[in-house]
Amino acid sequence: MRTIETFCAEKKDIWIWLDRFGEAKINYDPSTPHRHDFYEILFFEKGDGIHLVDFAEFPIRSNSCYFLFPHQVHSFKHFSKPKGCVIRCYEEGLFSSQLNALILSLSFSAKSPTIFEDDAQKFADVMQLLNPLQHLLQKYPNTTNHIILHLFQSFLLYLLEISGISQDFAKHSKNTNLIVKFLQLVENNFFTAHTVKEYAEELLTTERKISSATQHYLGLNPLQVIHNRILLEAKRLMLYENQSQKEIAFKLGFDSSDKYSHFIKNKTGLAPTEIKKEIGKIHKL
């Protein structure tokens, strides 16, 4: 079983960069499963084929936009050479609290990773907004200044608006700060913290308030959010890491491999070895 690699940008002092397909200086083969520590926003003017995001398959369509998150397992299967561009960015210093909330909401949305598809008008509008950002990125290639930052934030807000995420989020505007903090805490601590009580104590709030926020935004209770994240990582580790089920159980914070196996069986109806076989078929490994 191959080991999945996580790729980083060569210049960590630059937070945003934009490349045309085929012109980016990347040190990995995008047709093989990989992940990276930055966000990617993909704009396909023309293209076909598929891309795999974790364990779901999505078609590549012309006049489309897709939003990929750090650490997602990703690969392309192009049927023809695509035409378009990609924006890559790091989160640090870029996202306002509103953007953080919207982007986190997108990550849990059934729409993810699709912003829009098969829409020539939306694609033209987006490209028109992208032009001044591209101009500034070319003018200031070695830094990210405040003008670039504000343009990029506005651009992201527009993308989330046309994706429908902004409208959905506006309907549930209560406890925005709490849901953002909770989801970020889960992402950083799911290996060791498995109970809602642990997160409530860390956030100096109550389990009931967290539950109200997650039900509001995600339609899930907080324990489901925690368990879904653990299950996702378990699948990633099963598929791409040369570790035994016992080692994976330990890495994910389970006291024993029996408790880990019970967790997987309870969530999927399958034993860990059966899940490994099923998800291996998706990526043909």
Whether 252 maps to a domain, the answer reads yes
35 and 164 both lie in a single domain: yes
- Model confidence over 74-106: pLDDT tens digits? 888 877 788 899 998 887 667 777 787 778 778
CATH number where 206 lies: 1.10.10.60
Could you tell me what percent of the chain has a pLDDT over 70? Answer: 87
Confidence at residue 1, expressed as pLDDT on a 0 to 100 scale:
46
If one counts every other C-beta atom within 10 angstroms of the C-beta of residue 161, the result is 12
40 and 141 both lie in a single domain: yes
Chosen domain end from 170, 187, 213: 170
Q: In which band, very low, low, confident or very high, does the pLDDT at 267 lie, cut at 50, 70 and 90?
A: very high
Mean pLDDT estimate for the chain: 84
Q: In which band, very low, low, confident or very high, does the pLDDT at 171 lie, cut at 50, 70 and 90?
A: low
E-state strands within the chain: 6-7, 16-20, 35-36, 39-46, 49-53, 56-59, 64-68, 74-78, 83-89, 114-116
- Model confidence over 112-151: pLDDT tens digits? 788 999 999 999 999 999 999 989 888 887 777 788 888 9
Whether 264 maps to a domain, the answer reads yes
Half-sphere exposure of residue 43: CA atoms within 13 angstroms, side-chain side: 20
* Residue 52 β-bridge partners: 57, 75
Confidence at residue 199, expressed as pLDDT on a 0 to 100 scale:
97
Q: Return the residue matching tokens 């930055």.
A: 38
162 and 191 both lie in a single domain: no
What is the extent of the structural domain holding 102?
6-170
Whether 241 maps to a domain, the answer reads yes
Closest CA to 276 of 247, 234, 213, 246: 234
* pLDDT surpassing 70 at residue 168: no
**DSSP state at residue 140:** S
19 and 125 both lie in a single domain: yes
Q: Return the residue matching tokens 């509001």.
A: 216
Chosen domain end from 145, 170, 195: 170
Confidence at residue 36, expressed as pLDDT on a 0 to 100 scale:
82
Within its chain, how far is the Cα of 99 from the centroid?
14
* pLDDT surpassing 80 at residue 284: no
Q: Return the residue matching tokens 């549930």.
A: 172
Confidence at residue 24, expressed as pLDDT on a 0 to 100 scale:
65
Whether 1 maps to a domain, the answer reads no
Chosen domain end from 170, 197, 221: 170
Confidence at residue 10, expressed as pLDDT on a 0 to 100 scale:
53
Q: In which band, very low, low, confident or very high, does the pLDDT at 29 lie, cut at 50, 70 and 90?
A: confident
Confidence at residue 108, expressed as pLDDT on a 0 to 100 scale:
74
Confidence at residue 148, expressed as pLDDT on a 0 to 100 scale:
87
125 and 140 both lie in a single domain: yes
DSSP string, 54-68: TTEEEE--SSEEEEE
Closest CA to 228 of 261, 263, 279, 256: 263
Cα–Cα distance between 112 and 68 in angstroms, integer? 8
Phi, psi for residue 143 in degrees, rounded to 5: -160, 170
181 and 123 both lie in a single domain: no
CATH number where 115 lies: 2.60.120.280
* Whether 197 contacts 204, CB under 8 Å: no
273 and 206 both lie in a single domain: yes
36-50, 60-74, 164-178, 265-279: the lowest-pLDDT one: 164-178
Cα–Cα distance between 199 and 207 in angstroms, integer? 8
Q: Return the residue matching tokens 């012309």.
A: 62
Whether 106 maps to a domain, the answer reads yes
8-22, 55-69, 165-179: the lowest-pLDDT one: 165-179
For Cα atoms 140, 17, 22, give the angle at the middle one, nearest 5 degrees. Answer: 120
Cα–Cα distance between 61 and 112 in angstroms, integer? 15
